Structure 1
């Protein structure tokens, strides 16, 4: 079922005492920090950041490497970072994966989006009936969808 050797080894390491590959505590701490930061930012800070980006865009043209780095940074901010911080939450993970897949399909940098989709699809092995059922507890789903899911399971 799992075709990526690195993923197999990671899952097997979870069976060992001490769970050497587990990052749940780190992820939970980073999620809490991100939520605190996002709730404490003001609109003034957002405007200041936009002005800084405009000023930087007026600098001489970037090299190929700088442009590639800029593309990756934009991808991380626009598509990936929110999903990364919420990935440890089993209730929201299935819907977040679908949201991320839609974002990748519509991402403005088609080449980067296509590469990300290819990689992302290789990591959908855990999105199965057993884990998707936890989405019933996700507040973003309407009651009709939850009822249909409950009848199916």
Structure 2
């Protein structure tokens, strides 16, 4: 059997991803495979709001919104600006980003991220109130997380 040269063994395969100087940061609570699938999707996505790091930021924002202890209702606040950074002030936008990422992920990665998001959705449903006039107030009233009362301070 022919032997491979040492330089060929040390060389990166041609189809290996080049992440730059540092390897990608792992998303808390997700496996390495799912994190890499999300990173690949974020880099290739043509959606303005899905960019590298947006899924991690959306998950952190969703968790932070639901973190305050107690049983008082929470009210999502509207974002002041619609740019990539400021739009995450509205937790409903973070959920929009998660929905878009879930729609585009491969099956196995989608299942793992769905388990995390469904657990947060259950808490969101329990801590927010329904908005009976959402179809007149919201531009995306077809999404259930947009049909919750909003406004005021987020802490409740």
The TM-score normalised by the length of structure 2 is: 0.35
Relative contact order (C-alpha < 8 Å, sep 6+): which is higher?
A: 2
The TM-score normalised by the length of structure 1 is: 0.35
